[in-house]
Structure 1
Amino acid sequence: MAPVADRPRALSFDSVAPQYAATRPGYPPALFNALAELVGRPLAGADVLDCGAGTGIATRLLRARGARVVALEPGAGMAGELRRAAPDVPLVRGEGDRLPFTGGSFDLVTYAQAWHWTEPARSVPEALRVLRPHGALALWWNQADVRVPWVAAEDARLAPFSRDFPTTVAEQFGPFPVRVSTREVTWSRRVTLDEHVHNLATHSHFAVMDPAERAELLTANRAALARLFPVGEVEEPYRCGLTVVRRIDG
């Protein structure tokens, strides 16, 4: 699914799959309300392909809305966690740049935290190929809200070691006959400091880091947070950016 240069990072999630399943944030109900609005149909009863499904976080939330979901995941470790969490979900091993499905199979193709591992020159035509008429491609990401001072300070501490991915990708669709809609949903969750740090450790830039260097960096970050949050809990604020893509004639 990933460009060649990023493929080791894309598959690095297999090494942290159980931790990913345990600590990564989900998505708020408002996101799925916005998704249904921009797609122009209820999620209930929709045939959905969830690409780069990982441990199934979005897959399960889409199913809870009544969608019929097929999960697509390239990584063995991540797919194993998805299978344990949702054994009745159809799971296909494959990549977003080469979708192993016939044309016109789905009402909705989704990428939750996963579109940046694809090559749009290949993944956009593939998504459009497997969509039914009036179908849609939907992409979304949780990003830490750096407008909050403690998040901005953490971001500054970790910035030399990390790479974030954009919440808006509309420019990637310029060459294609599509229309693009966007929405942002803000939300938060309360977790312990340990859960917060373990979540950070599942991000690809840390997963591929030297273990000793990673431990030193994240321990220092936790110590800085502990001075701000002596109770040992933190409210993680997120900005969830949603992009919905539909054919101009759809």
Structure 2
Amino acid sequence: MTASSRALSFDAAAAQYAASRPSYPAELFDSIEEFAACRLAGVRVADVGAGTGIATALLRERGAEVIAVEPGEAMAGEFRRALPGLPIVRGDGNALPLAAASHDLITYAQSWQWTDPARSVPEALRVLRADGALAIWWNTTAFDVPWIRDQHERIARHCGVEPRSAVRPTDSEAIRLAGLTGLRVTRRQVRWSRTVSLDVHLANIGSRSASLVLDEADRRAFLVDERERLSQAFSGEEVEETYVVDLLVALRP
């Protein structure tokens, strides 16, 4: 399955995605302001691959003037229901439907991997104003938390993919992997956590692309087994999910 097909797989679970996916900590946006050397208040931002608007809403709360770009019809529908006052256009990072030199900041929350950097980097530079910035980030696995590491490995095996390495890439490796070599890039990792019900946790892992492309019966059976395993491991019906947000901010030359 192609990357673009996996990206659009989220449309099949847009409401589930909106209800269960984790948000982002305030420190992330503090870091973006620090690295981009500007306050978000009043800044023109394009949030690309905006999905249901999790990051878009937080950018708007900081006072940014945000437009969302989203390829998926159902995801865009959830966005409009949650954020009826914010503009959203259909499109993706490989061909941004935005005018040249029109934005101060372009953001990709959990969505940069669905682009081709050979196309998305030049597109970002085209749309950015002078001294603008590109910020990309992901909520990544906290491999030092044993139950989270073990679950990650179970999910990977079940989905037929290789588990991610518990060793995080160096700054230079992360920049190269993101296709940002040659730009002025700053990186920061921000650790945070949230406590959620088992239902929300299972809906969250079931909304990931590697799971969504599985047969529905297969996916449901895995989640039933996972519920049983976690119910035995934790007292009560809540779990603490821990994340490490990996942020890269590239400045326009």
Contact 1:144 1:236 in 2 (8 A): no
Paired position in structure 2 for 1:97: 94
Contact 1:14 1:77 in 2 (8 A): yes
Paired position in structure 2 for 1:225: 230
Paired position in structure 2 for 1:50: 47
Paired position in structure 1 for 2:180: 173
Separation in structure 2 between the aligned mates of residue 109 and residue 63 of structure 1, nearest angstrom: 13
- Amino acid in structure 2 at the alignment position of 1:235: E
Paired position in structure 2 for 1:243: 248
Contact 1:163 1:205 in 2 (8 A): no
State the TM-score, normalizing by the size of structure 2: 0.92
1:35 to 32, 36, 40: 32
Separation in structure 2 between the aligned mates of residue 164 and residue 123 of structure 1, nearest angstrom: 26
Separation in structure 2 between the aligned mates of residue 48 and residue 164 of structure 1, nearest angstrom: 34
1:135 to 123, 132, 136: 132
- Amino acid in structure 2 at the alignment position of 1:215: R
Paired position in structure 1 for 2:239: 234
1:201 to 199, 206, 231: 206
Secondary structure of the 2:99 match is coil
Contact 2:153 2:163 in 1 (8 A): no
Paired position in structure 1 for 2:191: 186
Q: What do the CA deviations read for 1:28-68 (whole angstroms, capped 9, x no partner)?
A: 00111111101110011100000000000000000000000
- Count how many residue pairs are aligned between Structure 1 and Structure 2: 243
Q: What do the CA deviations read for 1:183-228 (whole angstroms, capped 9, x no partner)?
A: 0000000001111000001001111100111111111112111111
Percent identity reads 50
Mapped pair 1:113 → 2:110:
yes
Separation in structure 1 between the aligned mates of residue 101 and residue 249 of structure 2, nearest angstrom: 18
Paired position in structure 2 for 1:148: 145
| 1:233 shift after superposition | 0.4
State the TM-score, normalizing by the size of structure 1: 0.94
Cα RMSD (Å) of the superposition? 1.5
| 1:163 shift after superposition | 6.3
Separation in structure 2 between the aligned mates of residue 23 and residue 164 of structure 1, nearest angstrom: 22
Separation in structure 2 between the aligned mates of residue 213 and residue 129 of structure 1, nearest angstrom: 43
Mapped pair 1:26 → 2:31:
no
| 1:144 shift after superposition | 2.5
Separation in structure 1 between the aligned mates of residue 198 and residue 103 of structure 2, nearest angstrom: 40
Structure 1: 4+ residue segments shifted above 6 A: 163-168
